[in-house]
Amino acid sequence: MTAADFGLIQQRLNQLPKPSAHPKLTKDDWLAASGVFLLVFLSTFPVVIPFFFASDAKLALRVSNGIAIMMLFITGYALGRYAGRSPWRTGVAMVILGSVLVGITVSVGG
């Protein structure tokens, strides 16, 4: 970019209205925040469920890892279909990646 380009950008930025001194959250902000909360909660809750029912923490951890890997396959399968790729290949690639990450975690004591 040239100095003239930077000057043009600065001029356009200076023409924007000044932000409010006291910004307020709108209904759309609260809805977006609720959507992010639900997305994070619903994607992590299945992985936590085994810890509620198993008395052995090590068993619960392994079951939790299995659920996470199954979720990775489902997500990879959906991604493959959406992207126009082979859903099975994409799902298996996600499982391999997840398994490698779990293996690394287990090898360092997790």
16 pLDDT band, cuts 50/70/90, is: very high
Q: How far apart are the first and last CA of the chain?
A: 49
Number of domains the chain contains: 1
Q: What is the mean pLDDT of residues 24-50?
A: 95
Q: Does the residue 7 lie in any domain? A: no
Q: Does the residue 65 lie in any domain? A: yes
Q: Does the residue 9 lie in any domain? A: no
pTM of the model: 0.67
Q: Does the residue 39 lie in any domain? A: yes
pLDDT digits (tens, 9 = 90+) for 49-108: 999 999 999 999 889 988 998 999 999 999 999 999 999 999 999 999 988 988 898 899
Tokens of 1: 């970019």
Q: Does the residue 99 lie in any domain? A: yes
Q: Does the residue 71 lie in any domain? A: yes
Full residue range of the structural domain in which residue 87 is found: 28-107
DSSP states of 32-84: HHHHHHHHHHHHHHHHHHHHHH-S-HHHHHHHHHHHHHHHHHHHHHHHHHHHT
Tokens of 55: 């008395």
Q: For the purposes of burial, counting CB atoms within 10 Å of the CB of 24, is it exposed (0-12), middle (13-18) or buried (19 or more)?
A: exposed
